[in-house]
Chains A and B, each alone.
Chain A
Amino acid sequence: MALAVKAMTLVLCWGGICLGLFRAFGGARRTVLSGTLAGFAGGAVLVVALAAAVPATALAATLRGVLAVGFLLLGGVAVTHLYRPAGATLDISGPAAVPPGRWPAVLTSAAAGLVTAAVGGGVLGALPLGPDRLLPGAITLAIGLTLPFLAVAGERRLPVALLLTGEALLALVVGLLLLLSSSSLGLDLFAPLSMKVMKLIHDFIHQFFESMLIPDHPFFRNDVWTYIGYLFSNSVGFWGGLALWLLPPLLLVLGLLRKPLPSVAHIRQGAQRRKLLASFLRARRWQLVVPWLTVLVLAGAVYRSTHPATEYWDPKPVPVSAGADGTVVLPVKDGERDLDDGRIHKFALRDGEQEARFLVVMKPDGRYAVALDACAICQPEGYGQAEGTVICYYCKTLIPLETVGQPGGCNPVPIRFTASEREIRVARQELVNAWVSTVQAGARVPGGKR
Chain B
Amino acid sequence: MIIEARGLTRSYAEICALKPLQLQVPEGEWLTVMGHSGSGKSTLLNLMGGLDRPSAGTIQVGGVDLASLDENGLARFRREWIGIIFQQHHLVPYLTALENVMMAQYFHSVTDEAEARAALERVGLGNRLRNRPGELSGGEQQRVCIARSIINSPRILLGDEPTGNLDHQNTRMVLELLRELRDQEKFTIVLVTHNSEVAAWGDRTIFMDDGVVVRDEPRGAPA
A binding-site residues for B, Cβ under 8 Å: 269-275, 277-278, 281
Chain A residue nearest in CB terms to B150: A271
Q: Nearest Cβ in chain A — how far from B166, in angstroms?
A: 27
Structural contact, A277 and B109, CB atoms closer than 8 A: yes
A274–B105 Cα gap in the complex (Å)?
Answer: 8
Show 15 residue pairs from A and B whose CB-CB distance is below 8 angstroms, ordered by the A residue.
A270-B115, A270-B153, A271-B108, A271-B109, A271-B152, A272-B153, A273-B112, A274-B105, A274-B109, A274-B110, A274-B112, A275-B108, A277-B109, A278-B109, A281-B110
Structural contact, A269 and B110, CB atoms closer than 8 A: no
Residues of A within 8 Å of B115, CB to CB, are: 270, 274
Structural contact, A270 and B112, CB atoms closer than 8 A: yes
Contact with A along B82-115 (1 / 0, CB 8 A): 0000000000000000000000010011111001
Residues of A within 8 Å of B152, CB to CB, are: 271
Residues of B within 8 Å of A274, CB to CB, are: 105, 108-112, 115
Chain B residue nearest in CB terms to A276: B109
- Sample of 4 more A-B contacts, CB < 8 Å, known A269-B153, A270-B115: A270-B112, A272-B153, A275-B109, A281-B110
Q: Nearest Cβ in chain B — how far from A107, in angstroms?
A: 40
Asked if B151 is an interface residue, CB under 8 A from chain A, the answer is: yes
Counted as pairs of residues, one from A and one from B, with CB atoms less than 8 Å apart, the total is: 27
Residues of A within 8 Å of B108, CB to CB, are: 271, 274-275, 278
A274–B108 Cα gap in the complex (Å)?
Answer: 8
Residues of A within 8 Å of B109, CB to CB, are: 271, 274-275, 277-278
Closest 7 CB pairs of A and B: A278-B109, A271-B153, A274-B109, A270-B115, A275-B109, A271-B152, A278-B110
Contact with A along B104-135 (1 / 0, CB 8 A): 01001111100100000000000000000000
Q: Nearest Cβ in chain A — how far from B121, in angstroms?
A: 13
Q: Nearest Cβ in chain B — how far from A281, in angstroms?
A: 7
A269–B34 Cα gap in the complex (Å)?
Answer: 34
Q: Nearest Cβ in chain A — how far from B154, in angstroms?
A: 8
A238–B71 Cα gap in the complex (Å)?
Answer: 49
Residues of A within 8 Å of B151, CB to CB, are: 270-271
Q: Nearest Cβ in chain A — how far from B83, in angstroms?
A: 11
Chain B residue nearest in CB terms to A277: B110
Chain B residue nearest in CB terms to A269: B153
A271–B101 Cα gap in the complex (Å)?
Answer: 13
Residues of A within 8 Å of B105, CB to CB, are: 274
Residues of B within 8 Å of A275, CB to CB, are: 108-109
A278–B107 Cα gap in the complex (Å)?
Answer: 11
A271–B110 Cα gap in the complex (Å)?
Answer: 9
Chain B residue nearest in CB terms to A274: B109
Contact with A along B129-165 (1 / 0, CB 8 A): 0000000000000000000000111000000000000
Of A271, A272, A278, A281, chain B has the most CB atoms within 10 Å of the CB of A271
Residues of B within 8 Å of A271, CB to CB, are: 108-109, 151-153
Residues of A within 8 Å of B112, CB to CB, are: 270, 273-274
Q: Nearest Cβ in chain A — how far from B107, in angstroms?
A: 11
Of A270, A275, A281, chain B has the most CB atoms within 10 Å of the CB of A270
Residues of B within 8 Å of A281, CB to CB, are: 110
Q: Nearest Cβ in chain A — how far from B157, in angstroms?
A: 14
Q: Nearest Cβ in chain A — how far from B88, in angstroms?
A: 25
Chain A residue nearest in CB terms to B119: A270
A281–B106 Cα gap in the complex (Å)?
Answer: 13
Q: Nearest Cβ in chain B — how far from A266, in angstroms?
A: 16
A151–B109 Cα gap in the complex (Å)?
Answer: 34
A80–B30 Cα gap in the complex (Å)?
Answer: 58
A229–B152 Cα gap in the complex (Å)?
Answer: 62
Residues of A within 8 Å of B110, CB to CB, are: 274, 277-278, 281
Quick one: which of B2-36 are within 8 Å of A by CB? none
Of B108, B110, B115, B153, chain A has the most CB atoms within 10 Å of the CB of B110
A270–B112 Cα gap in the complex (Å)?
Answer: 9
Residues of B within 8 Å of A277, CB to CB, are: 109-110
Chain B residue nearest in CB terms to A272: B153
Contact with A along B156-179 (1 / 0, CB 8 A): 000000000000000000000000
A281–B105 Cα gap in the complex (Å)?
Answer: 15
Q: Nearest Cβ in chain A — how far from B187, in angstroms?
A: 13
Q: Nearest Cβ in chain A — how far from B120, in angstroms?
A: 13
Chain A residue nearest in CB terms to B111: A274
A272–B79 Cα gap in the complex (Å)?
Answer: 12
A270–B105 Cα gap in the complex (Å)?
Answer: 10
Q: Nearest Cβ in chain A — how far from B206, in angstroms?
A: 29
Q: Nearest Cβ in chain B — how far from A94, in angstroms?
A: 20
A348–B152 Cα gap in the complex (Å)?
Answer: 79
A270–B113 Cα gap in the complex (Å)?
Answer: 11
Chain B residue nearest in CB terms to A281: B110
Q: Nearest Cβ in chain B — how far from A176, in angstroms?
A: 32
A270–B109 Cα gap in the complex (Å)?
Answer: 11
Q: Nearest Cβ in chain A — how far from B16, in angstroms?
A: 38
Residues of A within 8 Å of B111, CB to CB, are: 274
A271–B152 Cα gap in the complex (Å)?
Answer: 5
Residues of A within 8 Å of B153, CB to CB, are: 269-272
Q: Nearest Cβ in chain A — how far from B7, in angstroms?
A: 33
Chain A residue nearest in CB terms to B152: A271
A278–B79 Cα gap in the complex (Å)?
Answer: 14
Q: Nearest Cβ in chain B — how far from A62, in angstroms?
A: 51
Residues of B within 8 Å of A270, CB to CB, are: 112, 115, 151, 153
Q: Nearest Cβ in chain B — how far from A192, in angstroms?
A: 46
Q: Nearest Cβ in chain A — how far from B191, in angstroms?
A: 22
A252–B152 Cα gap in the complex (Å)?
Answer: 34
A281–B108 Cα gap in the complex (Å)?
Answer: 13
Q: Nearest Cβ in chain B — how far from A90, in angstroms?
A: 15
Chain A residue nearest in CB terms to B79: A275
Q: Nearest Cβ in chain B — how far from A143, in angstroms?
A: 37
A374–B72 Cα gap in the complex (Å)?
Answer: 64
A281–B111 Cα gap in the complex (Å)?
Answer: 12
Q: Nearest Cβ in chain A — how far from B181, in angstroms?
A: 14
A281–B109 Cα gap in the complex (Å)?
Answer: 10
Q: Nearest Cβ in chain B — how far from A149, in angstroms?
A: 32
A274–B104 Cα gap in the complex (Å)?
Answer: 12
Q: Nearest Cβ in chain B — how far from A260, in angstroms?
A: 16
